Structure 1
């Protein structure tokens, strides 16, 4: 979540966070992703989420 906030700040966007059942929905600009709500998120999953949210539109 810290990394997603940093990405939004670098892009001049705001972060919208909404809690779902077992996931958190994060929206930065027009991009949206779901983040599993676990103590540790799998490294591969984390990298994929970050890559998706860093992508240019």
Structure 2
């Protein structure tokens, strides 16, 4: 999955929850935060499909 597509999907999850997606740049990862949930996002153009699905699944809890 493309990184930008994952970020767009995370923005949609945040919108559905009535919150904002906050992206904080780090060393090798970007930290995505929605409310109290946060997750590191790899800084690669392509993100492994299983990794992307796991990030999205955890963000929807």
Equivalenced residue count is: 55
| Aligned counterpart for 2:51 among listed residues 41, 45, 54 | 45
- Flag structure 2 segments of 5+ consecutive residues without an equivalent: 1-6
Q: Normalised by the size of structure 1, how large is the TM-score?
A: 0.93
**RMSD of Structure 2 on Structure 1 (CA):** 0.5
Could you tell me which runs of 5 or more consecutive residues in structure 1 were left unpaired when the two chains were aligned: none
Matches within 5 A, 1:5-16: 5-16=11-22
Following superposition, which runs of at least 4 residues in structure 1 exceed 6 angstroms of deviation?
Answer: none
Larger RCO: Structure 1 or Structure 2 (Cα < 8 Å, ≥ 6 residues apart)?
2
Deviation at 1:4, TM superposition (A): 0.3
